[in-house]
Amino acid sequence: MASLDLGVRIAATSSGAGDFVSFGPVTGYRDLSASMNGKTYRYRAESPDLTQWEYGSGQVSGGNTIARASVKYSSTGAKVNFAVAPQVAISIDPDDVLQFDDAMSLTAAQQARGRSNLNAAPFDALAASGLQVNGAMEVSQENGAAARTTSGYVVDGWQILSTGTMGFSAAQVADAPSGFTNSIKVAITTAAAALGSGDYLIIAQPIEGFRTSRLGFGMAAAQPISIGFWTKVHRAGTYSGSVRNSASTRSYSFTFTQDVADAWEYKTVTLPGDTSGAWTGNTNGVGLWLSFAIACGTTFAGAAGAWASANYLAATGTTNGAGTLGDVFQITGVVVLPGTEVPAAARSALAMRSYDVELRLCERYLQFATTTTIGVYLNGAGQTLYLSKSLLTEMRAGPTASQFTAPSYSNCSVTIGGTTVRDLRLDLTATAAGATYAIGGVYKLDARL
């Protein structure tokens, strides 16, 4: 097989019987010897009658010598003792070039060099494109590290949802793989060894349409998404999850395997875009649901690896992670990216947005407003001072407001007068003429999906 000429042809001036092949420029070909010194090249050497040949690699030195580091193929299976000085050409091996149609196993250093040479950003630079909110489970405005034992939000963005007889305790914990700080930990407190057909226990996030509409789901040009995440599960086995539309009429179940019990493992899955069904567009409604199943009965489980016109939360055959007392399921580092690629495990933490950025995203759905001291003289009972407080972040929709911590006040009552996506109105109403004041007070503003 002829070698691929790179503009330099090398003619040997010695037999190449040892570990060196000497060469010199051939008339008609550009001499690159000086720039080649110190670099390793693939070469092919062959005798004029083609009975002796070898294909290997070596480093150029001295301007006209290749030190034969290794021989990949040859007519003898080893370095050849050429009877006649061979013809030598620098050549390209498929392993030396970036492939477009075959998978490659590149080292981290090779990947970094390839990105640098192509002027391409690493995939962890796509952090801002992540569809998920609070993927590192760091933001927990409402609960902190307190556990919950009923369905609802555990940390910002992530819910625990269940039906059936299993009991659980779900909380943010300071246990995570390298590069992360927190995870959601679900511990089974009442086992459900036999699941009812409609039973399930899942960790789920509704993702807003403004974040997902770029995928074009429901249209012919729907784009794929790739999901990366870390799990630590007490019971090794095959687990699963799903992506669903807002109406739960379209779903895609996927599987992943916990290979070693009680160890952090990185998982990735890629889903094709859904070209069918009704999907929420560029609005503030639920664009899609992402869920991870700890346990799921047959009603809400379906075949993995294909879109279905059904409400599936898991894949058929998923392990019952709530089957025994003491079962534990942990998850963190969830990234959902448009396209077919996610960062490798070693760089997965770099795909997470920083805490301060994530907190602002979370405040679009939930935030706590703290009032300052209010002091005023009102002329009579029933007179009201209206106080408007700007919110930290514009919210997804007009929030539901409730008093989280009561203020201290005198000669008045303090009530919530109304809310918008940008502000909270408090009404301070005098009980009698005279000085009135209110100090502090924290108000919960909830616009979660």
Cβ-contact 81, 17 below 8 angstroms: yes
Among 354, 379, 404, identify where a domain stops.
Answer: 354
User: Are 347 and 419 contained in the same domain?
Assistant: no
pLDDT in tens, 51-73: 998 888 888 776 566 777 888 88
Full residue range of the structural domain in which residue 20 is found: 9-96
Is the pLDDT at 16 greater than 60, yes or no? no
| pLDDT tens-place string over residues 110-165 | 777 777 776 666 666 677 789 999 999 999 999 999 999 999 999 999 999 999 99
Residues 189 and 333 in one domain: yes
Query: Residue 4 has what pLDDT?
Result: 28
For residue 85, being part of any structural domain is answered with: yes
Pairing of strands 87-91, 40-46: antiparallel
Going by C-alpha positions, the residue among 331, 220, 320, 208 that lies closest to residue 265 is 331
Q: How confident is the model at residue 17 (pLDDT cuts 50, 70, 90)?
A: very low
Within 10 Å of residue 170's Cβ, how many Cβ atoms?
Answer: 27
Residues 343, 374 share a domain = no
What is the reported pTM?
A: 0.78
Same domain for 59 and 89, yes or no, is: yes
Q: Which of 110-114, 148-152, 406-410, 433-437 has the lowest mean pLDDT?
A: 110-114
pLDDT tens digits, 79-100: 888 888 777 777 766 666 776 6
* Residue 379: predicted pLDDT: 87
Q: How far is CA 289 from the centre of its chain?
A: 15
As for how many domains the chain has, the answer is 3
In b/e form, how buried is each residue of 198-223, taking b as 16+ CB within 10 angstroms?
ebbbbbbbbbbbbbbeebbbbeeebe
What is the separation, in whole angstroms, between the first and last Cα of the chain? 63
Q: How far apart are CA 383 and CA 428, in angstroms?
A: 8
Same domain membership, residue 187 and residue 165: yes
What local confidence, expressed as pLDDT, does residue 22 receive? 47
Residue 136 and residue 91 in one domain: no
Backbone angles phi, psi at 149, to 5 degrees: -120, 5
Is 114 inside a domain boundary? no
Distance CA 239, CA 75 (A): 51
Task: Please report the pLDDT score of residue 61 as a whole number.
Answer: 72
Q: Higher model confidence: residue 23 or residue 38?
A: 38
| Residue 15 pLDDT class (50, 70, 90 cuts) | very low
- Say if residue 70 is in the same domain as residue 13: yes
| Rounded CA separation 432/417 (Å) | 20
Residue 140 resides in a domain: yes
Q: For position 439, which CATH number holds?
A: 2.60.40
- Answer yes or no: is 70 within a domain: yes
Q: Is residue 120 part of a domain?
A: no
Structural domain includes residue 105: no
Kindly state whether residue 280 falls inside one of the protein's structural domains.
yes
Is there a domain that residue 21 lies in? yes
Q: What is the DSSP code string of 218-243? A: TSTTPPPEEEEEEEEESS-EEEEEEE
Same domain, 48 and 171: no
Which of 331, 354, 377 finishes a domain? Answer: 354
Q: What pLDDT shows up at residue 27?
A: 37
Does 293 lie in the same domain as 218?
Answer: yes
Residue 31 has a pLDDT of 46
CATH code at position 246? 2.60.120.260
| 154-193 pLDDT per residue, tens | 999 999 999 999 999 999 999 999 999 999 999 999 999 9
Res. 26: pLDDT tops 50: no
Query: In terms of DSSP H, where are the helices of 26-178?
Result: 33-36, 108-118
Q: Which of 332, 354, 376 is the last residue of a domain?
A: 354
pLDDT in tens, 315-357: 999 999 999 999 999 999 999 999 988 888 998 999 999 999 9
Q: Is the pLDDT of residue 424 over 90?
A: yes
Measured distance CA(439)–CA(282) in Å, rounded: 41
| Separation of alpha carbons 231 and 236, rounded Å | 11
Contact 291, 297 (CB under 8 A): no
Q: Which of 36-50, 91-105, 208-222 has the lowest mean pLDDT?
A: 91-105
Are residues 183 and 311 both part of a single domain?
yes
Q: Quick one: 212 and 331 in the same domain? A: yes
**Are 39 and 152 in the same domain?**
no
